Amino acid sequence: MTLPAIATKNLVKKFGTATVLHGIDLEIPQGKVSCLIGPSGSGKSTLLRCMAFLEEASAGTITIDGEVLGFTESAQGVRERVSLATNRAIRSQIGMVFQQFNLWPHMTALGNVSEALKTVHKMSRKDAEDYAMAQLVKVGLEERAGHYPAQLSGGQQQRVAIARALALKPKIMLFDEPTSSLDPELTGEVLNVMRDLAAEGMTMVVVSHEIGFAATVGEQISFLDQGRLLFTGAPSEVFAKPRHPRLEQFLDTYLDRGASMLL
């Protein structure tokens, strides 16, 4: 049996006195698309950000391909920080895509994608840019390589951001509401890039309000509500016969809005 790509064990996250994640146990399978769904404030983005180590969990552990990220925890609950170098190596296996794209505005599309290749991986300028260009081709933006983020549409910016993450050859791609700040017209181009990626067998974790995407591309769906993982299963189980009343209620709001045709 292969190790899960990501496994969280009793993961707790507190912001001050508020507990946002109440002990999440979740396994993300290798080579599949896992979706995290749930209402706003359910903790799904926080869970994803913990997986990217953008948030440090308050308790519990996260393992990436069997290696502990951030903090080890003994049976007695004693936490110890993983060395910076080790943690950096583990994090390098993860690509992250943000809701707000977060492209660097002073660099062109090509500059954004090649930056880490040059500064972190010490590739020559030419090699880095050639490789970055190949990633832009992959997301269909080779003609926009010389444009600055301010000169690109939201959908194009998000595709550059995906190319930037892919350039580092991650084993796992995390998407934090990648289409939530886009017009409906522009979400399609981003979702298509994600579908291509899924078809290549990339391990993906997607936090999304795009229930249609979750239903058609997702292979494992997890439903969170108020910081608790209420359900994890195959899309057929989730959408065909929602068993948990809270999940049923959540999905109903989508059906009310005419999303049933997507399911």
Partner 1 sequence: MTFDINVILQQMPAILSGAAVTIVIWIVSTIAGVILGFLVATGRRYGGFASDKGLGAIVDVLRGTPFLIQIFLLYYGGPFIGLSLDPVPAGLLGLTVYGAAYFSEIFRSGFDAIPVGHIEAAECVGLSRSQIVRRILLPEMTMLVLPPTFNMAILLIKETAILSIITVPELTLTVSAIGSQQYAFVESLFLLALFYWGLVEIASWLGHLAEQKLSRFRFNNA
Piece in contact with partner 1 (CB under 8 A), picked from 21-29, 36-44, 146-154, 227-235: 146-154
Is residue 244 a contact residue for partner 1 (CB under 8 A)?
no
Sheet holding 228-233, edge to edge: 94-97, 172-176, 203-207, 33-37, 220-225, 228-233
Q: How far is the CB of 48 from partner 1 (least distance, A)?
A: 12
Instruction: Give the nearest distance from C-beta 27 to partner 1 in angstroms.
Output: 22
Tell which one of 94, 128, 145, 215 touches partner 1 (CB under 8 A). Answer: 94
- Residue 177, judged by CB atoms within 10 A of its CB (0-12, 13-18, 19+), counts as buried
Binding to partner 1 by residue 150, rule CB under 8 A?
A: yes
Decide if residue 15 touches partner 1 (CB under 8 A): no
**68-76, 147-155, 206-214, 240-248 -> range binding partner 1 (CB under 8 A):** 147-155
Report the DSSP beta bridge partners of residue 14.
19
145 scored as a contact of partner 1 (CB under 8 A): no
- Residue 94 C-beta: closest distance to partner 1, Å: 7
Say which residue the tokens 């239903």 belong to.
215
Encoded tokens for 25: 């146990």
- Residue identified by tokens 């490789």 is 131
| Inter-helix orientation angle 125-138/154-166, to 10° | 130
- Provide CB contacts within 8 A for 14, sequence distance 6+: 20, 58
Asked if 235 interacts with partner 1 (CB under 8 A), we say no
User: Six-digit token pair at 47?
Assistant: 């869970």
Is 221:235 a contact under the CB 8 Å cutoff? yes
- 104 makes contact with partner 1 (CB under 8 A): yes
Chain positions contacting partner 1, by CB under 8 A: 52, 54, 88, 91-92, 94-96, 98, 100-106, 115-116, 119-120, 148-151, 154, 157, 161, 164-165, 168, 181
